[in-house]
Structure 1
Amino acid sequence: MAVLSLSMSWVSTTIHNKLNSIHCNELPRANSSIFSSNNITCSKEAASNEEDRTKRRTLLLGVGALTSSLFQASALFAEEIPANYRAFVDSSDGYSYYYPSDWRDFDFMAHDSAFKDRYLQLQNVRVKFLPTDKKDIHDLGPMEEVIPDLVKHRYAAPSQVATIFDMQEKSIDGKNYYTVEFQLTSRIFSTTSFATIAIGNGRYYTLIVGANERRWRRVRNKLKVVADSFRVLDI
């Protein structure tokens, strides 16, 4: 998982290393300059010798190669990120989403990225993907058939009872998404979640964001922003 920031100060470390997460309060607007005076400083005076000019050309070429892969993410978040959220953009694995700004990243088994509330373990978001030969979620079948099968046979454990509250379908920039609101209940506890699925880049992506059922009414709208923000990026 390689996560791309829209900060040029990030260039030197990401060329050889993958990041686990990114915290950015606001990605630049589509018409804003990616180059910031805090990140790259270029002298207005002519270089005194060819060595200086060569160094600058090398730096700019490296930055140009990186920023070309960031334009799509920049356009995706052309509008300001909602207050109290941050953007996670993984341009290498081809997806992005918002998450609450006070959440922290953590390892969730078999998932590519995950963030959770600092105090409530069950209040979290996580994303994973699997290879597929499908081109679009419509290839899986109609939403009314696909979603119930997923919730009851994939998301729910044998000891849990699954209840579906709502299903939605949307299309953004030529990519289709299914989102479902569902509850899983066992003898010990219940959780309620949103799941958004999509297919692209030869991958089947799943984002799930949820909370303890007792807190759901208080945090539902907050977590719906996360579910609705999920996007598949071309890679």
Structure 2
Amino acid sequence: YSCELKVFAVPRRNVLSTLLSASTVLLLGPRQITLAETTGGAFREYIDTFDGYSFIYPKGWIQVKGAGADIFFRDPVLLDVNMSVDISSPSSSTYKTVEDLGPPEKAAEGVLKQYLTEFMSTRLGVRRESNVLSASSKVADDGKLYYEVEVNIKSYASNNELAVMPKDRVQSLEWDRRYLTVLGVENNQLYALRLQTPERLLSEEEGDLRRVMDSFRVNKIQA
């Protein structure tokens, strides 16, 4: 993607004021994270040099700690509009290319299966409908191959599942969401950028979500 960044050099004594500037570098032991504001101010760039990936995200989104992913951002108002990055374990993965997952269509089946596993429910009367909407590959401007997957998942549930009569156990739609995933491989690890939005908000949020998808890059970790 093409993105001009505003970068500022800030003396160490001004680290506190740096948090309010257009470019922020956080040093956490060996982990360095850079936040830079894009030209126009609509997006910020997140660069994790320790884990080896980067992307841009809408400026108004906030980071959520302890969400179970390597990083998690969401819209502060529309909580179901969010994104995260997951990385396979460096000690147990030996990926050389995203093609190790098979063709995009096979990788999409794995992505959908993972989502459905995460959404398994012990509640009575819950039913999920799911479909792979698209699966494709692309070579980005860094010369690396990425897979892009889109799936839709709907959840139905009954508020009266213990009712005796079947007519009283009517299921209704709980939620209907679009999940967009970008897969890449570097450092022998599989990286997954995962975004979600309710289908009813897709037309409104799609432009921003696709910019985030297009910006995702996996980077070689410097020893």
The TM-score with structure 1 as length reference comes to 0.67
| Equivalent residue, structure 1, for 2:148 | 179
| Equivalent residue, structure 2, for 1:88 | 46
Question: Is 2:58 the counterpart of 1:100?
Answer: yes
The TM-score with structure 2 as length reference comes to 0.70
User: Which secondary structure state, in structure 2, belongs to the residue aligned with residue 145 of structure 1?
Assistant: helix
Higher strand share: 2
Deviates more, 1:126-135 or 1:161-170: 161-170
Give the % identical residues.
25
| Equivalent residue, structure 1, for 2:99 | 138
Question: Is 2:181 the counterpart of 1:195?
Answer: yes
Question: Is 2:155 the counterpart of 1:155?
Answer: no
Tell me the alpha carbon deviations over residues 183-231 of structure 1, each in whole angstroms, 9 at most, x when there is no partner. 1110111111210011111211111111112111221122111111100
| Equivalent residue, structure 2, for 1:168 | 136
Mapped to 2, the partners of 1:219 and 1:154 lie a distance apart of 24
Mapped to 2, the partners of 1:84 and 1:168 lie a distance apart of 27
Task: Specify whether residues 171 and 7 from structure 1 end up closer, same or farther in structure 2 by C-alpha distance, changes over 3 A only.
Answer: same
- Structure 1 residue 11, shift from structure 2 partner: 6.2
Tell me the alpha carbon deviations over residues 54-78 of structure 1, each in whole angstroms, 9 at most, x when there is no partner. xxxxxxxxxxxxxxxxxxxxxxxxx
Structure 1 residues 1-235: aligned runs within 5 Å: 7-9=8-10, 14=26, 17=29, 23-26=35-38, 84-107=42-65, 109-131=67-89, 132-151=93-112, 153-156=113-116, 157-158=119-120, 159-172=127-140, 173-187=142-156, 188-235=174-221
One-letter code of the match for 1:113? I
- Could you tell me whether the CA contact under 8 Å between 1:87 and 1:96 is conserved in 2? yes
One-letter code of the match for 1:106? V
- Could you tell me whether the CA contact under 8 Å between 2:32 and 2:48 is conserved in 1? no
Deviates more, 1:166-175 or 1:219-228: 166-175
One-letter code of the match for 2:187? N
Structure 2 stretches lacking a partner, 5+ long: 1-5, 16-25, 121-126, 157-173
Q: CA RMSD, aligned part only? A: 2.5
- Structure 1 residue 160, shift from structure 2 partner: 2.6
- Structure 1 residue 83, shift from structure 2 partner: 5.2
